[in-house]
Every structure is written in C-alpha cells, then in structure tokens.
Structure 1
Amino acid sequence: MVTQTPPQSAQAGPGAEPPSARQVAGRRWRSARGVVAALLAMVVIAVILAALRPATSAEALDPTSPKQDGSRALAEILRQNGTPVHVARDADDAVRQSAPGSVMLVTRTERLTREDLTRLASAQVDLVLVRPTSFALADLAPRVRKDGPTFEEADEPGCTMQAAALAGAVSLHESETYEVTASVTGAVTTCYKTEFGGPRVVQVRHGAKTVTVLGSASPLTNRRLTEEGNAALAMNLLDSTNTGLVPTAGTSVVWLVPDIPTEGTAAGQQSLGDLLPFGVKLFILQLLVAVLLVALWRGRRLGPVVAEALPVVVRSAETVQGRSRLYRAGHARDRASDALRSGARERLVPLLGLPRSSAQDPSAAQEIVTAVAHRTPYDETYVGAALYGPEPLDDAGLIALSDVLDDLERQVRQS
C-alpha cells in the first residue's frame, strides 16, 4: 500500500507556529456563543415567568381574609343575601356542619390528608372543588382528571348549566382544564371550554349529589370578584338549587379552608405536576427544544466523510512485518496460525470452485478438506490438520505450518 505525501501548506508548514491558547479559546467561544446565548435567554424567560406568577399566600380563598387573594367579599355578599356561611378548618368540622340542602366549598385541597378526602367523599352534600389536586380529584371526582393549565380569557359558558348560563361571560385568568373519562354514567356538564376544547368548569351528578370542579380561583377572590360575571358565577355555584343569582332561603354554605398541616402529618398530598409551577414546565419544554436544535446543528456541521492521504509512505510489506513482530512479541501463535489458515482458505476456495463464504463457514470444513485432498497427494487427515488443526506448540511449528499451507496452495494451483 503506497500513498502520495500531500503537499505542504504555506500556512501549516514545518516552520509554522502552533496556535496559542488564546487563539484556541477564541475559536471555541465563537463556535459555542450561539448555544450559550440561547440557554441564557431561556433562563431569563423562565425567571420572568416565575416572577410574574402570583404567589399564593397562606390566607388565599379564606372567607375571613381581606387580602386580594382572600374571599371575605364573597362571604359577606352571601350573608347579606340570607345565606349562612360556616367556616370549617378541618374535614371533620366541615362534615359536622353540613346539613341537607347545604353546599360545601372545598379549597386548598393540598392540605387534606387521605383520611380527610375519604370523609368528604362520604358526605351526602353537594361539593364545589376549587382547583383541586390530582389526589383530591381521584377521591372526590374520580371521573374528572386534569388536562393542563391555560391562560385564555373565558368567553360565554357554552353549556346548559344554569349557574353558568345566568352568570354569562367570566374572567378566569389562569385556570386548569379538565378531561372527563368515557366511563361517566351520570349527568355531566362542561362549561367555559378553551380553544382546544378543554372545559374549565365541570359538573358531575351522582344521584342526589353534585360535584362541581372549578378550574380557577379568580371568581372567588376579592381582587377578581367584580370582573365580568365572576360574582354571579360564584354565588350561583354555591346555591344548592341553582335557580337564580341569589341563593334561596334555607340553604347554607360550608366553607372548608383547611389549616396548614403540622409537621409530621400526612397532609399536603400533591403530585409532581401539582408541585411544579407552570413556568418551570415551560422552561423544561424550552430546554428540550434547545437540546434538539443543538443536536441538529452539530449533526449538520459534521458533514460527509473525507478521505485524506497519509502524511508518509507506508509499504504493505512493512505493515505485514510490523504485525508479525507484534504477534511474536506477544507469543500469539494462536492468532498468527488462525490468520495463516484463514488466508489460505480464502485463496483456496475460488480455486476449488466453492463459494467464497464457505471459507469461514465451519459447516463447510469437511467439503473443503475433501476437495483439497482430491487435488493433492495428501490424505484428508493431513489436509484437515493443516487447515483446521490446533495451534503450533512453538515458533518452529508455526513456520512449518506456513510451509505446509504454501505447499497446499501450490499443488492446488498446479493441478
């Protein structure tokens, strides 16, 4: 094997100086600055989204809190219109205060334990769940599951639920959307659907009990109560008869706001999706897209395989001698004998009229041995030992094997 020496470049000649560390670092920075800029941009976007996301205070949806995310305004409106509002701080108290015809408003479900959810599921009162966790949905509304968050402003209700139809358009802001499973047997109503069809309010009826899932807390808060039809929707959902904007006399609302669980309790059951803020989910999605784009970019830069000439002349005989010396230094007579026999079979098979694939096929060994024995004065035992025998015991045996294989090839060629 002989190759030509490539011409020396004027810039990369023997006297050219190698690039400095500063030049190498500069080239690496220029090739990677696009990726670094994209990653920094995604980090900034994620931080901005996390900063814009309003934090939920400990008094959120509390009917006694005057803060923006509290619900004292709605509770006072209900009381002024003759509907008693009973505040409960745990599930047992909420079940005790419930009576036929009352509506239980369940908030902050992430503070409820598995036992609390079981007690609430057994209570024979209508339930209104505000942004429930996945665990709460599984126990209190098993036919409804989360489908993902949305920031679309709700339009008209687009459903036959009287509470939503009387309220009209509402302003839900950030809201969860839901999916109702196909195994529903009772009456189901879905309202305020998004552009992709995900409802933000779902009402499921089980006999005499109704469970309403509200995907947004905005209609109940002091800050958003006066927007659009938020107040009407909140009051209608808390009306056990759902016949008008003002709850009828005789009904009552049990407002469950669980206390913050103490350390060591089993409360606070949330799935991983409930714990991750929407901004973090969006950042992970952006990161995956960036990794895919970088992989495509780097893959295109590899380009086709380029065949390059060797920088020096290497003769085939030198290669053979170098490998032979390596075999001898490592006492690898087994590998050397296998190489000799394999090469001899590759050269003998075409002369015998056999397919080339049979040279390395163990099942064709007897056929090759028989064919060689018919073309030479040696018997099959001798030929078999030469082409498929054990490794030589010493270097002299390896040289003798080489001579025997050369003799077999010569006689087959001359026959």
Structure 2
Amino acid sequence: MVTASPPRGGQAAPEATARQVAGRRWRSARGVVAAILAMIVVAVALAALRPSTSAGALDPESPKQDGGRALAEILRQHGTQVTVARNTEAALAAAAPGTVMVVTRTERLTEEELARLSNTQASVVLVRPTSFALDAFAPQVRRQGPTYEETDEPGCTLQAATLAGRVDFHESETYETSGPGTDCYQTEYGAARLVQIPNGTATVTVLGSTAPLTNRRLAEQGNAALAMNLAGAGSSMVWLVPDVHESGSGAGQRSLGDLLPFGVKLLILELLVAVLLVALWRARRLGPVVAEALPVIVRSAETVEGRARLYRAAHARDRASDALRSGARERLVPLLGLPRSSAQDPSAAQEIVTAVARRTMYDETYVGAALYGPQPLDDAGLIALTDVLDDLERQVRES
C-alpha cells in the first residue's frame, strides 16, 4: 500500500508561525505592560509604606509613636500648664486670653463646633486641619497639596520658627495665604508648611505636618523646639483631641480630598498617565499613507454602489454632486483638447463651459449650471443632474 508522504516539516511550520506571531505581539506590547506594572507596584508600595493614622494619634496622653505624650511632659517640665480636652466644651472652658489652644483631629469636629472654637480669645494652633477647619479659623488660608521634602529652613521672621531652625516635616500639607500673615518653611513653589495669621489680639497658626508633635519625630532636627515654641508660647496650653464617640458626625465634615488616602490619589493619577501612554502608543503610526495590495479583488461597480449608499445614508447630496461633476469634467477635458489639470482648476471653468457649449445644443448658462452649479435640493434633482451630465458627455463625444 502506497501512502502520500506528509509535507516537508510536517506540522512544525504552522506551530512556528503561531509562535512567531505571539512573539511579535508580546515584543510590541511588553514595554507598555511593564510600565503599567511598575506604576502599580510603586503605588502599592507607597500606600503600604505610608503610616496609617491610629485612634490615639496626636493624643497628649498616648505613649505610642504617633502620640504626643513626650511633648506634653516636656512642656509641663518647663512650667507650662497643659490641659487635655476631649470635647469642645472643656476646651472653651479652659481657654482664656494668653492661652494657646492646640487643635488636632479636626475631622472629628462638626461645623457647629468649629464655629464655636473659632470665636475663642486664645491663640490657636491647627495641626493639619481639614478644609472645613481652615474655613472656620483662617478663611484666607488655602491648602495647596502635600509635599515630601523632609528638612527645610524657616525662611521667615516668625520667632518660633527662627529659633527652631531646620525641621523634619516628612509628609506635610502646604498652604498659601491671600491676606496678612507669615509663611514659613516654603517649598520651591512658594507654598508654606507653617502659616501664622493675626486674629485680633491672638494668632492662628496652621501647621501642615504632625511630625514635630509626635513622640517618634520629636527628637529630629529642630522639631522639639518648634513644637515647644508654638504650643508653649502662652502662660498655659489647652490640647484639644476630640473623642470619636462625642463627635461622630464630624467625619462627614471632611471633603473628598480629605477622605481619600494619598496612595489612592497617586494610583488614580498613575492610571490616568498609563491610559494616556497607551493612547499615544496606539496612535504612534502617523506616517504617510502606504499602498497595500487588497486581499481580494473588488469590482469597481461594487465600490461605486457602496459609496453611493454611504452618500444616500448621510444625505450627502453636496458631496455626491461634486463627485459627479468632478468625474464629468475629468472625462470631458481630454475630449475638448484641454489639459487634464484644468478639470479641477476654478480659473479654467469659463473656458470649459464655453468649449462644451460649442460642442452641444445647450447654451453656456445651462452648461455652467450643470458642471459648476449648486447642489441638488433632493434625490430627484441629483438623478436629474446625472442625466444632464451623461447627455453633455454623449453630445461632446458625438460631435
């Protein structure tokens, strides 16, 4: 029994071709995939490394790393009376002219509590306040965004800052004032990490970082000096840390920007950049048009019918009539003995109309309206134009 031998190479050729196609696709897309994966890894790493805020953060009685017990004890040792307040009533009762009120965790305060606190006669230190707290205490101060330049010089005349010198802020909000005030520890873009504005006989100080007050960062650079100069500037100090259960509705006073963690904001930004890069990558082939052989042979009649259907569906009688007149002129010009370039030359329109009128039974007005007139008003007019152009071409050929 005789059997036909398999093709040379057997099935290896199709498999090799499939692998080559897959390889080409992977090589063309791996750069974008790698960039997207890198952005996701960076965003996840930053979100994981960013320290979370515990319930006892900036609490003057908390010995944890983000607590403020060390600063409160140092102030007491230097003769400053420190009163810890857990609600607005206690803070207002302890506050008096010459007292410094340090207000932390402003996201736990309601709008009504913020309004009551803003009427105090004591000097106020706001530690990383929300936008609602800024509106209540210092409406001329606006938040500009976070920064991560850790150490900086004061660059201002505020005594509390000049005596402290360089301070490690780590992650810090920045602010801009639109009225009288003192801006300290400014970034290269002019936004300040520490702002102090006058409030009658007292002052309102906005501190964009919690680092100078926490147990963990107190010993770095001039953090302790800055914290003591701000909190211990008066004869006594009231440290307000609102309890969550007493101001549970205060969380609703935080804006969307306050509620979103920085890692989420960064991830959204990187995803937008990734989408933009993918769009640019997919649109990079903007070179000249390249002529390619059609995979199948398409009859010219089918092409004409297809384009005609598109014109009809779009009611594009203007483009259809222009195409009919342009084609008619292209065919008439050689028959009239004129150069082919004159078919689409507006300056040669009168010459073409005169030549056609001499070779047909129609006058120049009729011929001009047929070859260069306005678009038909309806489909019937378009069909009539086709008949007129065919008749002109027939008479010129027969003449």
TM-score normalised by structure 2 residue count: 0.74
Shift in alpha-carbon separation, 1:391–1:383, aligned structure 2, 3 A: farther
**Cα 1:380–1:100, aligned 2, differ >3 Å: closer, same or farther?**
same
- Bigger RCO of structures 1 and 2 (CA < 8 A, at least 6 apart): 1
The equivalent of 1:270 in structure 2 is: 254
2:104–2:126 CA contact under 8 A, matched in 1: yes
- Measured in 1, the distance between the counterparts of 2:256 and 2:176 equals 19
Aligned partner of 2:228 in structure 1 is 235
**Alpha-carbon separation, structure 2, partners of 1:48 and 1:288:** 18
Other structure's SS at 1:39 match: helix
CA contact (8 A) 2:360 2:392 kept: no
Q: Distance in 2 between matches of 1:391 and 1:137?
A: 68
Deviations 1:67-106 (A, max 9, x none): 1111122222323333222222222332232212111111
Looking at structure 2, the residues matched to 349 and 101 of structure 1 have their Cα atoms a distance apart, in angstroms, of 99
1:112–1:268 Cα contact (<8 Å) kept: no
* Whole-angstrom distance in 2 between the partners of 1:166 and 1:342: 85
Secondary structure of 2:205's counterpart equals strand
Partner residue of 1:172?
169
Alpha-carbon contact 2:76-2:82 (below 8 Å) kept: yes
Q: Quick check: 1:81 aligned with 2:78?
A: yes
Q: What's the offset of the Cα at 1:347?
A: 5.4
Matched position secondary structure for 2:251: coil
Secondary structure of 1:265's aligned partner: helix
* Counterpart check, 1:94 vs 2:91: yes
Structure-to-structure mapping, 1:11-410, within 5 angstroms:
17=14, 23-181=20-178, 184=179, 186=180, 188-241=181-234, 251-260=235-244, 265-300=249-284, 304-310=288-294, 319-320=300-301, 323=304, 343-344=327-328, 356=344, 376-378=360-362, 404-410=391-397
Shift, 1:349, TM fit: 8.4
The secondary structure found in structure 2 opposite 1:216 is coil
Distance 2:33 2:282 in 1: 14
Residues 349 and 356, structure 1, Cα contact 8 Å, conserved in 2: no
CA distance in 2, matches of 1:50, 1:89: 30
Stretch deviating more after TM superposition (106-115 or 346-355): 346-355
For residues 318-337 of structure 1, the C-alpha deviation after alignment (integer angstroms, 9 at most, x for no partner) is: 52487479989xx99x98x9
SS in 2 for 1:127: strand
Instruction: Count residues in correspondence.
Output: 370
Partner SS for 2:98: coil
What is the identity, as a one-letter code, of the residue corresponding to 1:145?
Answer: R
User: Which stretch of structure 1 is more off in the superposition, 145-154 or 44-53?
Assistant: 145-154
How far residue 275 of structure 1 moved from its aligned partner, in angstroms, is 2.8
Paired AA for residue 91 in structure 1: T
The separation in 2 between residues aligned to 1:302 and 1:382, in whole angstroms, is: 45
Identity of aligned residues (%): 65
The DSSP-based 3-state class of the residue aligned with 1:142 is coil
The offset of 1:384, in angstroms, is: 9.7
More displaced 10-residue stretch of structure 1: 85-94 or 398-407: 398-407
Q: 1:157-185, CA deviations, whole angstroms, 9 ceiling, x for partnerless residues?
A: 2322122223333332222222222xx1x
Normalized against structure 1, the TM-score is what? Answer: 0.71
The 1:289/1:410 distance shift into structure 2, 3 A limit, reads same
> Taking structure 1 as reference, are residues 255 and 168 closer, same or farther at Cα in structure 2, changes over 3 Å only?
same
Q: In structure 2, do the counterparts of structure 1 residues 319 and 95 end up closer, same or farther at CA, with 3 Å as the change threshold?
A: same
Tell me how far 1:119 sits from its aligned partner.
1.3
Q: Write the deviation string for residues 193-213 of structure 1: whole angstroms up to 9, x where unpaired.
A: 335443221111133120011
What is the CA–CA distance in structure 1 between the aligned matches of 2:385 and 2:197, rounded to whole Å? 88
Query: What is the letter of the counterpart of residue 199 of structure 1?
Result: A
CA separation of 1:193/1:381 partners in 2, compared to 1, >3 Å: closer, same or farther?
closer
- 2:146 is paired with a residue of what secondary structure? strand
